[in-house]
């Protein structure tokens, strides 16, 4: 089962590292990575007979991360009109 979870994680990393031009695709790949990490953590805690409280804390932080990413996406679309990285020129001096 852990092999499938690692495949999910690696697919998310591959999509994140490939050159994408939309912010939404990048945010979705980050959520895919977080989902893979959550599944790994869940199976690890389940296999070691630990309590699953930490997995709920991890899930809470990942939801906060997703909400922050969506707020940045909405702010960028309202400011620039699209979510292309090439029009996002805050990094330029």
pLDDT at 21: 83
Cα separation, 55 vs 61, whole angstroms = 10
Q: What is the CATH classification number for the domain harbouring 81?
A: 1.10.287.3510
Cβ within 8 Å of residue 70, ≥6 positions away:
27
Classify 35 as helix, strand or coil.
helix
Cα separation, 36 vs 67, whole angstroms = 18
With respect to residue 6, please indicate whether it lies within any of the assigned structural domains. yes
Structural domains counted in the chain = 1
With respect to residue 51, please indicate whether it lies within any of the assigned structural domains. yes
Element (H, E) at 19: none
Task: For residue 61, give both structure tokens.
Answer: 């932080």
With respect to residue 92, please indicate whether it lies within any of the assigned structural domains. no
Domain that holds residue 31: 2-87
With respect to residue 36, please indicate whether it lies within any of the assigned structural domains. yes
Does the predicted model carry a pTM greater than 0.75? Answer: yes
With respect to residue 93, please indicate whether it lies within any of the assigned structural domains. no
pLDDT digits (tens, 9 = 90+) for 32-41: 999 999 999 9
């Amino acid at each position: 089962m852990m092999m499938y979870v690692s495949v999910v994680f690696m697919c998310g990393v591959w999509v994140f590292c490939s050159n994408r031009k939309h912010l939404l695709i990048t945010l979705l790949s980050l959520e895919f990575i977080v989902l893979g990490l959550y599944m790994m953590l869940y199976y690890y805690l389940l296999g070691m007979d630990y309590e699953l409280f930490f997995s709920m804390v991890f899930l809470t932080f990942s939801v906060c991360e997703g909400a922050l990413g969506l707020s940045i996406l909405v702010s960028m679309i309202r400011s620039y009109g699209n979510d292309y990285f090439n029009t996002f020129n805050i990094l330029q001096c």
